[in-house]
Amino acid sequence: MTERIGRLMRNVEIVRSSRIPVGVEKAQNITASFRGSEGEPHIVRCAKAFAAAVEGATLFIEEDMLLVGNPASQPWGVELTPLWGTWPEAEIDSLEAAGYIIHPEVRQWIGELNDYWQGRSLTSLMTGTYDDERLWPYAQMGVVLPPFKSKEEGWGAGGLLGGGYGFHHEISQMIGTPDFATVLERGLGALVSDVADALRHTRLYSAESFEQAEFYRAALISLGGVQTLIRRFEAIARHDANQAEEARRRELEEIAEICAHIVEGPARTFREALQLYWFLFVSMLPSGTLGMGRIDQLFYPWYRRDVDAGILSDEQVVELFAMLRLRSMEITIQGGSAHRAKWAGGSKWHNAVIGGQNRDGSDATNELSYLVLRAAEACPTPHHTITMRVHDGTPSELLQAALRLARTGLGMPAFVGDRSMIGFLEDQGIDGEEARDYSVAGSLSVTITGKSRLVASPMFVLPRVLDIAMRGGICRRTGFRLGPATPVLGDHASFDQFLESFRLQMRQYLGLQAEFNNVTIRSIGDRYPRPLDSVLMADGVALGADVFTRTMPYENANFVNVIGVVNVADSLHVIRTLVFDERAVTAERLIEAIDRDWAGDGDDELRERCRQLAKFGNADADVDALAAWAYQTAADAIVAHTSVTGGRCIPSALTIGTSPWPGGAVTGATPDGRSAGEPLAEESLTPMRGVERATPWHVIASASRVGQRAYQSVELDLRFEAAALAAPADLGHLEDLLRDYFSAGGKHVQINVADTSRLRAACLDPESHPDLTVRLGGTTAYFAQLSPDLRDEILQRHYFDGIAAKPDGLELTMQ
């Protein structure tokens, strides 16, 4: 860590302490713009709102910072916005109770903003579309998270987690990677010229041409907003330079010169490329899931050119990449309490990808692949996250460097397997060369740069549907029947018959989820079009259509995301064994114990018997086959439905780290022995906590038996005691495990390394361990920022105390 980075990192304490200043400057500027543009085309109104946010923003350049572009009006602050959902007093109180600094005048301003957005928010548009017979009851059931309480609050007061930073008018909810490279190579001026030419040549002969003209007008306003942002920072840099001492003056003058050039021209140097990239990135925010791209590939031409010219060193690159990490840390994502519970620890998923293959299949590793890892070691902040692509030709040197970083406990990088990712894309009709150039956005969503974007991906709690199937289609929580009237569990003559009833219920509820997602996608596209994002996508200028309404080359807007499948597999194994095979307990007796949450006479013994049966993660073929069945059955049901943007719905299984908590909260006791309200199993393929596990190899043997290629995203968390990976041989065995798993069709592994004695101490006194981090489903968080219950649950998870070579006779199943 350089002295400069050390000084800048002191600001991270604001995030760790949650003493984050709350402002509404952006919301005030945007709201004033919307008030003044009533009656104009909505896409133009949104573009004007973005331009107003840029023009009215409080901008500043921090001491020591070389990468400029503050995402909030106050240093390390957050901007509340009521555009997704309004903020009642109780929600503001909950923010303040969590440590956020809210001045009385800010409270007053929030109330005034609420008055305008009441009935105009995205939530009101979405819930107003739900019918009272199906979608509105479904939204309340807790099958989709979080359950809706009222049509006014929808997802929860304060809106979806994701607002609070950046310059755009509202959360884009876009999980995708824009085409940054084209802008860096050609310049903003060229893009403005392209859009202006398209508008000039548009002839108003159809309804579509009118919409295109409105789109081009909005795109020009938006691109002008980005240029305004850059010009404003140039002026600030020149002003500050006049008052700075010599060393800092030269730095500020260089910043000003960089801004003066990139406001129109293409990037000529690594510094210019990184700065233009950040201006584009912060202009498209807020989105907690915007992909950062394959940054070792994206910036390599400028790196190579500057290094060869002798004007850039690796140490400078590490420092600049560390500043990119700090800029990401400065982004505080905010939303209502329901979503803060679902995504705890300040979660966000700005994912930078390294490694992998070139389009021709050759290895893509370069010097920047290593420097990105070095920057994370020098600046060990939870954000931004890093994902490394692994293929058969990935150099051992790079894998070992990545594992050494993971061994520090930072939880980075996560690892994804090219075989499964590329195979999935090829199954979607993507050409092999294009597929080999994939990136990852959000937590773990495969994306094609400029050619795909995911919009709707809430959590679908599969154990809730299993419970409904056991009761003949009745929801225990609400009493609703939205699926078919199938027999109750005890009325089935065989386990296979019950599986068929479960499949029918699954098909019905996954269909409801597909509709629910389509309403979200359509509502976002109608209420908050994104002309800036749209022109940074493939053929964006030629098509003249908003990214939320067009069909993409890889169309994945509707992403139906199942969680809790491991609990379902374990529960199905209990039902098959005890109820149908051994006839050791009746279905009625099992359901009674579940309804009593294992608290009735004799329930303890029954629960223990359920818990002692084989569980997923131990290479037990019977349980693993049930997990494979559940995943495949869900995938088949999901792809039967279509997206409002075109194409089919996409199967996904992202648990997002802390979602097992709200998922468990709405789920009663389950046949696997889990208690009511207890968190579900973490991650898609991670075994339930507390089950016996022999070795990490047995976990991946179970996971490899699940057909992962059909899914866009599947997660697996492996946790180790710090001492388990201390020796070089340990990392060698772990490298072998990753290579074997990915060769067998595995999609993802994240490595959590912890000293459990330190975790235990941090549970008792979290403030004394402010730098302790844990990996939570695609993101890393400071342990001290998590709730006491979540900290305790993390401590209860299984941490392997060693790793050895693959046991003899244990084979992974090729998918």
Find the DSSP H helices in 263-389.
270-284, 295-298, 300-309, 314-330, 337-342, 367-378
* pLDDT beyond 70 at 56: yes
Q: Check if the beta carbon of residue 652 is closer than 8 Å to that of residue 441.
A: no
| 3-class secondary structure, 22 | strand
Residue range 172-187, pLDDT digits in tens = 678 899 999 999 999 9
**Residue whose C-alpha is closest to residue 230's, from 199, 268, 191, 257:** 257
DSSP result, 81-139 = --SSS---HHHHHHHHHTT-B--HHHHHHHHHHHHHHTTTSHHHHHHTTS-TTTHHHHH
Q: Do the bridges between strand 351-355 and strand 78-79 make them parallel or antiparallel, or are there none, so unpaired? A: unpaired
**Cis peptide bond upstream of 146, omega within 30:** yes
Q: 159 falls in which pLDDT band (50, 70, 90)?
A: low
644 φ/ψ angles, rounded to the nearest 5 degrees? -65, -20
Q: What is the pLDDT of residue 160?
A: 58
Q: Check if the beta carbon of residue 68 is closer than 8 Å to that of residue 229.
A: no
Please write down the HEC assignment for all residues of 621-684: HHHHHHHHHHHHHHHHHHCCCECCCCCECEEEECCCCCCHHHHHHCCCCCCCCCCCCCCCCCCC
Q: How many CB atoms lie within 10 A of CB 432?
A: 12
Mean pLDDT of 761-783: 88
Please provide the average confidence, as pLDDT, over all residues in the chain: 93
Q: 359 falls in which pLDDT band (50, 70, 90)?
A: very high
Domain boundaries, the chain: 459-508+518-714
Least confident residue range of 70-79, 694-703, 769-778: 769-778
741 φ/ψ angles, rounded to the nearest 5 degrees? -65, -45
* 460/258 Cα distance (integer angstroms): 47
Q: Which helix (H) or strand (E) holds 32?
A: helix 25-36
Q: Check if the beta carbon of residue 396 is closer than 8 Å to that of residue 370.
A: no
Q: Which two tokens stand for residue 206?
A: 């159809």
* pLDDT beyond 90 at 690: no
Q: 693 falls in which pLDDT band (50, 70, 90)?
A: confident
Mean pLDDT of 721-734: 96
**Owner of token pair 């092999």:** 432
Q: 265 falls in which pLDDT band (50, 70, 90)?
A: very high
Q: What is the pLDDT of residue 142?
A: 92
**Residue with the larger pLDDT of the pair 660 and 21:** 21
* pLDDT beyond 90 at 38: yes
Rg (CA), the chain: 26
Mean pLDDT of 698-724: 95
* pLDDT beyond 80 at 336: no
The residues, any chain, with a CB within 8 Å of residue 101's CB and separated by 6 or more, are 19, 20, 21, 22
Q: What is the pLDDT of residue 307?
A: 98
**Residue whose C-alpha is closest to residue 80's, from 90, 91, 69:** 91
* 11/13 Cα distance (integer angstroms): 5
Mean pLDDT of 351-376: 98
Q: How many CB atoms lie within 10 A of CB 523?
A: 21
Q: Check if the beta carbon of residue 249 is closer than 8 Å to that of residue 257.
A: no
